[in-house]
Amino acid sequence: MASITPIHSARPRVLEFFAGIGLARMGLEQAGFRVVWASDYEPDKRAMYDAQFGDTDDHSFALGDIAKVTVDALPRNAALAWASSPCTDLSLAGGRAGLAGAQSGTFWHFVRLLRELGEDSPEVAVLENVVGLATSHGGEDLAAAIRAFNELGYSVDVLSVDARRFLPQSRPRLFLVGAKNPPEDVPDPNSELRPDWLQAAYGDKSLRTHRAALPAPPAPLTEGLGALMEAIPLHDERWWDAARTEAFMSSLSPAQLDRVAALKRTVGVKYRTAYRRTRNGVAVWEVRPDDVSGCLRTARGGSSKQAVVRLGNNRFQVRWMTPREYARLMGAGDYDLSAARTNQALFGFGDAVAVPAVAWLAENYLMPLVRGSMTEAQATLPREASRG
């Protein structure tokens, strides 16, 4: 029996850059991958990662500045490199500095390490980020990222996947899938995965790109939030007091007030999420009209936490969303939160990628690429190369 190869050794190995609390790992491992190395610079996220996955001999974690990670620290024979690089300089809540920003610019250290791996670089490399990357600096940041992958030998596919296709949370994300041996380029008119605002990348003849033939993703959800909310007793201290609730109500617009009043009068309990925005220099609350959460975010860079509104049976109550609700809305409902502080958990999940979005991409695209089961063909080549 000692000579039998452990089953996990046959699973393709993954390097997980900017791992955060490990939600990408959860999605990848659901699809059959095995994460053997991870990195992040925030101790609080590392602590949550360790609580969830434990410390094992077949996995190592590099805590600290990615600029200080050397290629010697990376395991060889990885099939996939995944990077969820910081989005602060690309998101609406950030300064929109783009890939030149101090945080989002860490992408270039991911590129550096892939370059230094040389022939040992993985067959597939993925960058996950906010959709703002597609428009940052008029599209130049996206082109620069694709070009950087091209220089490493990867053809690139660019996809937009919203977590709302799997969970009741509106959370669109961009995925750049780099492949050394790309599948056939298949134009896909009216694509749900490559909408019109992504087509410029494929029309740029200086870039090497491809469009893999993929199944249509599930339709966006229109409900389900209420089913994920915790059943917190009506008199629990987490519900805001009368003065705070009145201040919340007074900030709503007339249209919002009418909507809330109508829901309050209905029979049964409904849940909605609320988000604080600045309108004409004044902080106001806005309540979503549907049974779906807005995008979970971290409370920094001008952004804010989400509140939960409970309506119906002539009652109206408001509280902050709980860490467990954040976890459920990210597809990680059983995540180990036993040692996490509330704000630590909210930051961790607010910075993360939804588990089922990663799992869908991994099952339908990344694993077939790694296994070589997609038809390999010449991808779209730069104009200069095609002349040869």
Active-site residue set: 87
In DSSP notation, 84-125 reads: ----TTTSTTS---GGGSTTGGGHHHHHHHHHHHGGGS-SEE
Q: How far apart are CA 307 and CA 310, in angstroms?
A: 10
In DSSP notation, 259-306 reads: HHHHHHHSSS-EEEEEEEEEETTEEEEEE-SSSSB-----S-TT---E
> Identity (one letter) of the amino acid at 202?
Y
Count how many Cα atoms sit within 13 Å of the Cα of residue 372 in the half-sphere of its side chain.
0
How far is Cα of residue 277 from the mean position of the Cα atoms in its chain?
A: 22
Q: Please, are residues 364 and 215 in contact by the beta-carbon 8 Å criterion?
A: yes
Cβ-Cβ contacts under 8 Å for 199 (sequence gap 6 or more): none
The token duo for 145 is 């990222």
Q: Please, are residues 293 and 273 in contact by the beta-carbon 8 Å criterion?
A: yes
